[in-house]
């Protein structure tokens, strides 16, 4: 690979890298090389058509696009149109199905009541006050202070233990504030203005975004193998793991990964919904994804594909999914961040580069912001 005279190198073809590469090509009219270690674009958001069934499969688990940011939607417009899918999640606890996130339906079914919104609120308030939690600084205290111990133990404790394999008292509180608690029957998982699944599938969205005469793409390329050959003047946008960039010299940041077991059935519908969570700790899988439900506008019949998701800790060759972010991780990340601040040719970004539990739209926001503040301006003479 000839790197002579290369002005911009983007490491990682997920949302962060792809958005920045597109902006560099389109608005700065500069050549940009995008590399990715994997053999496909799109990072963990990638999707492709399963050749056996024709069903669009999210290869790294369900990805639902949602945002209230019209700038993000404006940027995506040439590459992506959303269908009308609205995400609703169910959870199975002790062989009963409940609605997630916790809402009036969940509360009434679980406590076998018929509470009005006000009654449910005052009932839960009583349970919460009993706990006397004053400063909820970890996931467990935060969850109990929001929903009380009974609902926490049923719907959060086992699922979180499986997903994180870390004591919920060591996990950051903000993991749980991703989920709203509602005292109404509204059961939408997200409350953003825009929501849906790309009509064309995520794989094609990335293909369109990266298709530009000034963008070249090389897959299956490890940045660490290339690093020593990169010209000193090349500006690097790095969306790989920040600790790997520095050869883990101060230690490894904690990550969770996932393993998926694929099954195909000769029937129209396996579980009647796109995502079913499994709250019991004894059930080894975390959730089951059934992808055909994401595309009600497509004609699929006779067969369905499911992925059973099992959480696992991330070892050397695993894809990284969720930053664990314990207090030790936070301290370690700060050290890497201090090193990163000293770089004048490298910008770090994305979930892996910034060690953040960010959704797709937040990563796109970060990319647009970085481009405006750190790339476009710096490129001016």
Residues labelled catalytic: 178, 182, 256, 287, 309, 357, 359
226 binds ligand UDP (CB under 6 A): no
Q: Are 253 and 246 in contact (CB under 8 A)?
A: no
Q: How many Å apart are CA 305 and CA 270, to the nearest integer?
A: 8
Binding mask 123-162 for ligand UDP (x = CB under 6 A): --------------------------------xx--xx--
Q: Are 84 and 196 in contact (CB under 8 A)?
A: yes
Q: How many Å apart are CA 16 and CA 3, to the nearest integer?
A: 22
166 binds ligand UDP (CB under 6 A): no
175 binds ligand UDP (CB under 6 A): yes
Q: What is the smallest separation between the CB atom of 287 and ligand UDP, expressed in angstroms?
A: 8
Bridging pattern class, strands 287-290 and 304-313: antiparallel
Task: Pick from 28, 82, 133, 179 the residue near ligand UDP by CB under 6 A.
Answer: 179
99 binds ligand UDP (CB under 6 A): no
Q: Are 243 and 49 in contact (CB under 8 A)?
A: no
178 binds ligand UDP (CB under 6 A): yes
304 binds ligand UDP (CB under 6 A): no
181 binds ligand UDP (CB under 6 A): no
Q: Are 60 and 314 in contact (CB under 8 A)?
A: no
Contacts of 354 (CB under 8 A, 6+ apart): 242, 348, 366
For residue 376, with 0-12 CB atoms within 10 Å meaning exposed, 13-18 middle and 19 or more buried, which class applies? middle
Residue position matching structure tokens 């969570």: 277
106 binds ligand UDP (CB under 6 A): no
Q: How far is CA 250 from the centre of its chain?
A: 26
Q: Give 109 or 373: the residue with its C-beta nearer to ligand UDP.
A: 109
Q: Give 178 or 252: the residue with its C-beta nearer to ligand UDP.
A: 178
92 binds ligand UDP (CB under 6 A): no
Q: How many Å apart are CA 109 and CA 96, to the nearest integer?
A: 10
Q: Give 159 or 206: the residue with its C-beta nearer to ligand UDP.
A: 159
Q: What is the smallest separation between the CB atom of 303 and ligand UDP, expressed in angstroms?
A: 26
Choices 17-25, 79-87, 174-182, 290-298; region in contact with ligand UDP by CB under 6 A: 174-182
Count of residues that interact with ligand UDP, criterion CB under 6 A = 13
98 binds ligand UDP (CB under 6 A): no
Kindly state the tokens that stand for 193. Answer: 């203005």
Q: How many Å apart are CA 226 and CA 222, to the nearest integer?
A: 7
Sites of contact with ligand UDP (CB under 6 A): 91, 100, 155-156, 159-160, 163, 175-176, 178-179, 277, 279
């Amino acid at each position: 690979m000839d790197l002579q005279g290369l002005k911009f190198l983007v490491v990682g073809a997920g949302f962060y890298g792809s958005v920045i590469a597109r902006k560099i090509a389109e608005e700065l009219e500069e050549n940009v090389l995008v590399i990715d270690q994997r053999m496909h674009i799109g990072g963990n958001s990638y999707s492709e058509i399963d050749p056996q069934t024709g069903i669009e499969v999210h290869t790294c688990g369900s990805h639902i696009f949602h945002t209230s940011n019209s700038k993000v939607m404006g940027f995506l417009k040439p590459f992506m149109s959303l269908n009308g899918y609205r995400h609703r999640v169910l959870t199975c606890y002790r062989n009963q199905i409940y609605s997630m996130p916790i809402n009036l339906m969940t509360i009434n079914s679980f406590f076998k009541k018929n509470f009005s919104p006000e009654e449910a609120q005052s009932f839960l308030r009583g349970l919460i006050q009993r706990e006397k939690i004053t400063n909820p600084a970890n996931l467990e205290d935060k969850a109990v202070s929001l929903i009380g111990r009974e609902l926490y133990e049923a719907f959060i404790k086992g699922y979180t233990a499986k997903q994180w394999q870390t004591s919920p008292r060591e996990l950051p509180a903000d993991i749980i504030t991703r989920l709203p608690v509602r005292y109404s029957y509204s059961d939408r998982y997200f409350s953003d203005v825009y929501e849906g699944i790309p009509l064309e599938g995520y794989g094609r969205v990335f293909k369109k975004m990266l298709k530009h005469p000034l963008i070249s793409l090389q897959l299956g390329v490890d940045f660490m193998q290339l690093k020593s050959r990169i010209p000193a003047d090349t500006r690097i946008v790095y969306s790989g793991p920040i600790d790997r960039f520095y050869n883990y010299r101060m230690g490894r940041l904690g990550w969770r990964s996932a393993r998926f077991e694929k099954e195909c059935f000769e029937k129209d519908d396996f579980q009647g919904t796109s995502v079913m969570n499994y709250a019991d700790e004894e059930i080894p899988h975390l959730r089951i994804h059934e992808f055909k439900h994401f595309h009600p506008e497509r004609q699929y019949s006779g067969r369905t594909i499911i992925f059973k998701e099992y959480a696992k800790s991330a070892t050397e060759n695993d894809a990284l999914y969720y930053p664990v972010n314990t207090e030790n991780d936070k301290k370690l990340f700060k050290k890497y961040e201090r090193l990163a601040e000293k770089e004048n040719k490298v910008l770090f970004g994305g979930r892996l580069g910034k060690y953040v539990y960010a959704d797709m739209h937040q990563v796109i926001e970060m990319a647009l912001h970085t481009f405006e503040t750190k790339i476009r301006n710096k490129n001016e003479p």
